[in-house]
């Protein structure tokens, strides 16, 4: 279901006014390209079967920041806001590993896998 965009919004965009995300981009610690990288990393980890936990996602974000010389800790609300800005990952990040897959990992299964390589 799509909602109608107010005429005033369309007029302002035609005049060159930025949307809320663009106008506040300079207030974000991660640049838009860095956030895109982080989103892609999360999606790829999920596709590989290892959806990142909240702490793992925060650690990756901190690593990206450190590459720019930013060593300040990430704020308590950062992850929630990041997920709000990137709804594509809302169902991925922090998801538990499937119980069946976790239960299927035992000593016998690992040995069988290693001997077939």
- Indicate yes or no: pTM above 0.95: no
CA nearest neighbour of 80 among 93, 71, 99? 93
Is 8 part of a structural domain of the chain?
no
Tally of structural domains, the chain: 1
pLDDT value, residue 65: 94
Report how far residue 33's alpha carbon sits from residue 100's, in angstroms, rounded to the nearest whole number.
36
Q: What is the DSSP letter of 12?
A: H
Give 100's pLDDT tier (boundaries 50, 70, 90): very low
In a domain, 13, yes or no: no
The answer to whether position 7 is within a domain reads: no
Q: Specify the DSSP element, H or E, that contains 113.
A: helix 107-115
Q: Kindly state whether residue 17 falls inside one of the protein's structural domains.
A: no
Q: Is residue 16 included in any domain, yes or no?
A: no
Average pLDDT value over all residues in the chain? 79
User: 36: pLDDT confidence band, cut at 50, 70 and 90?
Assistant: very high
Range of the domain at 45: 28-115
Return phi, psi of residue 88, to 5°: -55, -30
Cβ-proximal residues to 82 (8 Å cutoff; 6+ apart), any chain: 35, 38, 57, 61
Q: Has residue 82 been placed in a domain?
A: yes
């Amino acid at each position: 279901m799509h909602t109608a965009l107010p005429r005033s919004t369309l007029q302002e965009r035609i005049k060159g006014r930025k949307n809320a995300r663009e106008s506040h981009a300079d207030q974000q610690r991660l640049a838009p390209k860095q956030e895109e990288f982080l989103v892609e990393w999360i999606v790829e980890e999920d596709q590989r079967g290892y959806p990142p936990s909240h702490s793992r996602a925060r650690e990756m974000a901190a690593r990206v920041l450190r590459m720019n010389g930013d060593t300040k800790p990430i704020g308590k609300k950062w992850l929630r806001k990041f997920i709000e800005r990137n709804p594509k990952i809302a169902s991925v990040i922090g998801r538990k590993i499937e119980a069946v897959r976790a239960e299927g990992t035992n000593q016998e299964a690992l040995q069988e896998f290693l001997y077939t390589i």
